[in-house]
């Protein structure tokens, strides 16, 4: 009987211990979940943790979109800054025009810092000097073409049309031949003066032909050598 009673007491004690362990484990789980929830910057389970800059952007205030065009204009004026007076605007425009004029003058003078990317470099400068020192037939293409077109419009005759059409073709053929000769000459002289040049012959030839096809006074940058000058 005592043995049975001792077994009963032992089972009751073991059951109480199990209950206390379960209660303790449940308290640990609750404490862990509470600590996880209280940790700042932690995303919910199953979602990626946001970066620090994204979190800061989300917390910052976002201005609402303008509801009317008047409100949009008002916001643009606020972002633009204080409004200038008429005299201040005149002074600002004059300074801007002066700066642009100075930049253009330096570009026309051939200063490398103010040139367009296609005109920069010693190789391109040398090509311009070769073209400007040469008498080019390509420079006559534009005035000749305009003259032929004017005659075709002023004299609407079939005989004149039949004569001017072959003349136009001959003019184009002569211009192509002159451009080809100029391109070969430019590439040969560039190879002799700049043996380390990496630009292709096609680019340099096209650059030389396009400059030669312009009237001398309309070329940019302005020619730096006289016609017939020796370019070495």
Answer whether 224's CB lies under 8 Å from 199's CB. no
pLDDT given for residue 40 in this prediction:
46
13 occurs within a structural domain: yes
Say whether 10 sits in a helix, a strand or coil.
helix
Backbone angles phi, psi at 186, to 5 degrees: -65, -45
Q: Are residues 205 and 140 in the same domain?
A: yes
Domain that holds residue 99: 87-118
pLDDT band of residue 6 (cuts 50, 70, 90) is very low
- Cα 217 from Cα 142, distance rounded (Å): 14
Q: Are residues 176 and 108 in the same domain?
A: no
pTM exceeding the 0.75 threshold for the entire prediction: no
Q: Are residues 109 and 145 in the same domain?
A: no
60 occurs within a structural domain: no
For residue range 133-161, what is the model confidence (pLDDT) as tens digits? 998 888 888 888 888 888 888 888 888 88
202 or 158, which is more confident? 202
Long-range contacts of residues 225-231, Cβ cutoff 8 Å, at least 24 apart: 225/129, 225/132, 225/133, 226/133, 227/132, 227/133, 227/134, 227/135, 228/133, 228/135, 229/133, 230/133, 231/126, 231/129, 231/130, 231/133, 231/189
- The pLDDT > 70 percentage for the chain reads 70
Backbone angles phi, psi at 99, to 5 degrees: -65, -45
- Which segment, 17-21, 163-167, 171-175, is predicted with the most confidence on average? 171-175
pLDDT band of residue 38 (cuts 50, 70, 90) is very low
The answer, yes or no, to whether residue 165 has pLDDT greater than 70, is yes
Using a 10 angstrom Cβ sphere, with 0-12 exposed, 13-18 middle and 19 or more buried, the burial of residue 201 is middle
The answer, yes or no, to whether residue 5 has pLDDT greater than 50, is no
pLDDT given for residue 29 in this prediction:
44
Q: Are residues 128 and 210 in the same domain?
A: yes
**What is the arithmetic mean of pLDDT over 170-181?**
91
For residue range 43-94, what is the model confidence (pLDDT) as tens digits? 455 555 655 555 555 555 666 776 788 777 777 777 766 677 788 878 888 8
Q: Are residues 172 and 183 in the same domain?
A: yes
Q: Are residues 140 and 169 in the same domain?
A: yes
230 occurs within a structural domain: no
139 occurs within a structural domain: yes
Q: Are residues 201 and 130 in the same domain?
A: yes
Q: Are residues 103 and 147 in the same domain?
A: no
- Cα 165 from Cα 171, distance rounded (Å): 10
Q: Which of 195, 190, 220, 224 is nearest to 205 (CA)?
A: 190
Domains in the chain, number: 3
55 occurs within a structural domain: no
In angstroms, what CA-CA distances link 228 with 14, 130, 131, 174, 224?
118, 10, 10, 21, 12
Q: Are residues 91 and 172 in the same domain?
A: no
């Amino acid at each position: 009987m005592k043995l049975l009673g001792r077994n009963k007491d032992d089972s009751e004690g073991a059951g109480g211990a199990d209950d206390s362990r379960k209660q303790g484990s449940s308290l640990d789980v609750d404490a862990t979940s509470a600590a996880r929830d209280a940790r700042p910057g932690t995303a919910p389970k199953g979602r990626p943790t946001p970066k620090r800059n994204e979190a800061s952007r989300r917390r910052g205030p976002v201005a609402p979109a303008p509801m009317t065009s008047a409100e949009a204009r008002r916001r643009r004026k606020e972002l633009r800054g204080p409004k200038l007076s008429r005299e201040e605007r005149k002074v600002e425009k004059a300074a801007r025009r002066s700066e642009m004029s100075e930049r253009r003058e330096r570009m026309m003078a051939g200063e490398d810092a103010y040139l367009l990317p296609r005109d920069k470099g010693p190789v391109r400068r040398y090509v311009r000097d070769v073209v400007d020192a040469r008498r080019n037939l390509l420079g006559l293409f534009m005035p000749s073409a305009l003259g032929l077109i004017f005659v075709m419009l002023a004299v609407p005759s079939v005989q004149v049309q039949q004569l001017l059409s072959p003349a136009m073709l001959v003019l184009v053929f002569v211009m192509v031949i002159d451009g080809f000769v100029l391109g070969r000459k430019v590439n040969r002289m560039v190879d002799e003066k700049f043996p380390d040049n990496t630009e292709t012959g096609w680019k340099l030839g096209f650059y030389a032909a396009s400059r030669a096809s312009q009237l001398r006074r309309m070329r940019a940058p302005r020619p730096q050598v006289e016609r017939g000058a020796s370019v070495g």
